[in-house]
Amino acid sequence: MCGIIAYAGYKECQPILLESLKRLEYRGYDSCGIAVRVESRKSRRGRINPTPTIEVYKDVGRVGDLAKSFPQIQGLKGGGRGTPVDGQDARPTRLQTPGSGLGIAHTRWATHGEVSKSNAHPHLDCSGRIAVVHNGVIENFQSLRDELTREGHHFSSETDTEVIPHLIERYYDGDLEGAVTRALADVRGTYAIIVLAAGHKKLVAARRESPLIIGIGDRENFVASDVAAVLDYTDRVIYLEDGDIALVSEGSISITSRESGRGTPDSRLQTLDYRPVQREEQVIPWSLEEAQKGGYEHFMLKEIHEQPKAIENTLSGHISLIERTVSLNVRKEAGLEDIVLVACGTSSHAALIAEYVIGKLCHLPVRVKVASEFNCHEMALEKTWVWGISQSGETLDTLRAIKKARTLGCATLAITNVPGSSITRIAEQVFYTRAGPEIGVAATKTFLTQLVALYLLAFSFASPDIMNAEGLIEGLRLLPSRVRQVLDGAEGIIPHARHLSRYDNAFFIGRGLNYPVAMEGALKLKEISYIHAEAYAAGELKHGPFALLGPSTPVVAMATRDDTYEPMLTSIKEIKARGSQVIALAEEGDEDIEQFVDAVIRIPPIDPLFSPFLNSVALQLLAYYAAKERGCPIDLPANLAKSVTVP
Ligand code: AGP
């Protein structure tokens, strides 16, 4: 989703903004742009114009291409001419000395209007002296645009965002913060914005339901949509909250807010009554190295290989092998009778696996709701515990579901990987996974650590009898080494991936707790290799999808040795009879499977309850190598974003 970075400091801002934009590429984008405040400018005749101006550069495509607009920046590849902003002076507008220490930049993931240079951010007001970058959606933009057009404002894009600089212009009388405040009172929707004005040596930043952080440096400050953008420069951050407006300059940060309190669910307050607030400074526990490829060809491959460590880190301090107990900081209040898990995408697959595990071990009623479909029908609100699962902690549908649940009186718990993310400030309790930063768009290590968290929670609610009898703690302890074994067998998965890469369609089938694993395998394959893949409960395939079986539709089957094994063999035989090739994921030592399928991916032996961990890693590798074979942009799949911060 859109990425935002802004700089206010003593250094030349353009190289910093470009490098930081590259760190935000993982969020997914289609175009990008930069606006910088230039103190003085040399005309083509050599005269100095002392009035500060704003220069904007934007383009469709990659940040690396945008860098070519700045030939004079040392250390950046390029040399092309500057790209003039649409609707502005058509002559090349190269940055002139002296450079600028104040600028904003953006990667756009199109929502309103096609992918084009004119729709890319930053957007300007009529005077060209106010520039805005925005993440989110302005719901009432059309009526505002009509109103502003009647007042004489001219628009040069199709975006919802462009109304913001024009609204600020409408209210501007020399007080930038006041104008931003009044402009924001007119808009409905979600936003993280940063405003740059030619007449001011400070940035104005504001958020409502879209993430925004301030990075604190020494004589330099940053504003960004996430910490990955600032990790090169600082690990000290402030997380802005809904309703905050921040003034950020080289040497100061001040924040005012119009929300009445932490976690307040109502984000539509239209008051102009802002009061100064202190937001706690936090230190990010992630290192820059963790957010770099470290010699791997793709972030996704690196993150797949980091999984044993990520599991260890997430388990750390929570299990006692001697006492066979789990200790967590999460409290289950008395009177809570059922659990509802809300999540999107891969996180919802983790939830579906947890539904099975919690149901089996804890005998608690548990349901999973895709966050965008969450409603509170059929819930006994004060007896329901709602868990929001989101690796980023910024997925808007999940945030809204948790806010709604909390407003209605449900107990809430967040499971997330990102310290300080929005979900941690909405839910009453938080369980952190410790996967470290995940940059690849495809969720891998965050998925496995979500499973660890959910298994730990399930075990903590299971009776001591079950914990003692089933060797569950031992199962958790073995996970890192068993996952390592799957990774050691990666070479053996490559031929199967190559084979799969030649098809345009595939089915993934599973039963029981491996049905959501099949869903996750299909999602991974389609998102990074663009092969159309669908997951089915193995028994369901014959109720319609069988019509699609045949030599051109391979089927990937989870053949785990548990009580679903025999029915799975039956399904496989039925599929084979219709001419499809079957690749099975089966345990080492299971020789029987060979006679029924075309190929086998071997999985180390493990208690079947933990099989989702190992099967998922094998499926991640299968998807990765299939995508690689097809030459796909694995870390940045088309049309996708790492965290989906729009509804
Ligand atoms: C999966 O590979 C995707 N990245 C996607 O399905 C993701 O899991 C979903 O958007 C939810 O993200 P979250 O965990 O950050 O809320």
pLDDT digits (tens, 9 = 90+) for 249-276: 999 999 999 754 444 434 444 456 788 9
Q: What is the pLDDT of residue 495?
A: 97
93 or 299: which leads in pLDDT:
299
Average pLDDT over residues 216-243: 93
Is 32 part of the annotated catalytic residue set?
no
Q: Is 444 in the pocket of ligand 1 (CB under 6 A)?
A: no
> Which segment of 331-345, 377-391, 543-557, 595-609 scores lowest on mean pLDDT?
377-391
**Reported confidence tier of residue 50, pLDDT bands at 50, 70, 90:** confident
**Reported confidence tier of residue 43, pLDDT bands at 50, 70, 90:** low
From residue 340, alpha-carbon distances to 7, 266, 643 in Å are 41, 22, 22
CA 221 to CA 6: how far, in whole Å? 8
292's CB contacts (< 8 A; 6+ apart) are none
The listed CATH number (3.40.50.1010, 3.40.50.620, 3.40.50.10490, 3.40.50.720) that belongs to domain 489-632? 3.40.50.10490
pLDDT of 100 above 90? no
Ligand 1 atom nearest to CA at 398: 16
User: pTM of the entire structure?
Assistant: 0.82
Q: What is the pLDDT of residue 69?
A: 65
Is 332 part of the annotated catalytic residue set?
no
369 or 287: which leads in pLDDT:
369
Q: What is the pLDDT of residue 378?
A: 66
Average pLDDT over residues 546-560: 95
Sheet holding 213-216, edge to edge: 53-60, 31-38, 102-108, 3-9, 220-224, 213-216, 236-239, 281-283
The structure tokens 């009554």 sit at 273
pLDDT in tens, 227-239: 889 999 999 999 9
247: its two tokens: 């003034």
Q: What is the pLDDT of residue 115?
A: 86
Q: Is 441 in the pocket of ligand 1 (CB under 6 A)?
A: yes
Q: What is the pLDDT of residue 265?
A: 39
Query: Domain-by-domain residue ranges, the chain?
Result: 3-283, 293-481, 489-632
pLDDT of 68 above 80? no
pLDDT of 71 above 60? no
**Reported confidence tier of residue 323, pLDDT bands at 50, 70, 90:** confident
CATH of domain 293-481: 3.40.50.10490
- pLDDT averaged over the chain? 89
Average pLDDT over residues 459-487: 88
pLDDT in tens, 159-168: 999 999 999 9
Q: What is the pLDDT of residue 346?
A: 98
CA 1 to centroid of ligand 1, rounded, Å: 12
pLDDT in tens, 508-532: 999 999 999 999 999 999 999 999 9
Average pLDDT over residues 1-22: 91
333's CB contacts (< 8 A; 6+ apart) are 385, 411
Q: What is the pLDDT of residue 226?
A: 87
**Reported confidence tier of residue 471, pLDDT bands at 50, 70, 90:** confident
Dihedral (Cα; 466, 472, 473, 475), 10-degree rounding: 170
pLDDT of 370 above 80? yes
pLDDT of 40 above 90? no
> Does residue 430 contact residue 414 with C-beta atoms inside 8 Å?
yes
Average pLDDT over residues 399-422: 93
> Which segment of 76-80, 331-335, 556-560, 615-619 scores lowest on mean pLDDT?
76-80
Q: Is 489-632 the same fold as 293-481?
A: yes
* Angle at the Cα of 478 from the Cα atoms of 476 and 481, rounded to 5 degrees: 130
Average pLDDT over residues 427-437: 95
Ligand 1 atom nearest to CA at 643: 15
Map 499-552 to HEC letters.
Answer: HHCCCCEEEEEECHHHHHHHHHHHHHHHHHHCCEEEEEEHHHCCCCHHHHCECC
Q: What is the pLDDT of residue 82?
A: 33
Length of the chain: 647
180: its two tokens: 């931003």
289 or 116: which leads in pLDDT:
116
58: region left, alpha or beta (phi > 0 left; psi from -120 to 50 alpha):
beta
Average pLDDT over residues 465-482: 86
From residue 443, alpha-carbon distances to 105, 344, 524, 620 in Å are 26, 12, 8, 9
Q: What is the pLDDT of residue 112?
A: 85
Q: How crowded is the C-beta side of 606, counted as CA atoms within 13 Å? A: 28
Give me the architecture of the 3-283 domain, per CATH: 4-Layer Sandwich (3.60)
Ligand 1 atom nearest to CA at 346: 8
Q: Whose C-alpha lies nearest to ligand 1, atom 9? A: 345
**Reported confidence tier of residue 352, pLDDT bands at 50, 70, 90:** very high
pLDDT of 132 above 60? yes
Q: Is 28 in the pocket of ligand 1 (CB under 6 A)?
A: no
Burial of 90 (0-12, 13-18, 19+ CB in 10 A): exposed
pLDDT in tens, 392-404: 999 999 999 999 9
Q: What is the pLDDT of residue 527?
A: 96
Q: Whose C-alpha lies nearest to ligand 1, atom 6? A: 345
Q: What is the pLDDT of residue 91?
A: 33
> Which segment of 9-18, 346-355, 479-488 scores lowest on mean pLDDT?
9-18
**Reported confidence tier of residue 575, pLDDT bands at 50, 70, 90:** very high
CA 348 to centroid of ligand 1, rounded, Å: 8
CA 187 to CA 544: how far, in whole Å? 47
Ligand 1 atom nearest to CA at 524: 2
Q: Whose C-alpha lies nearest to ligand 1, atom 2? A: 442
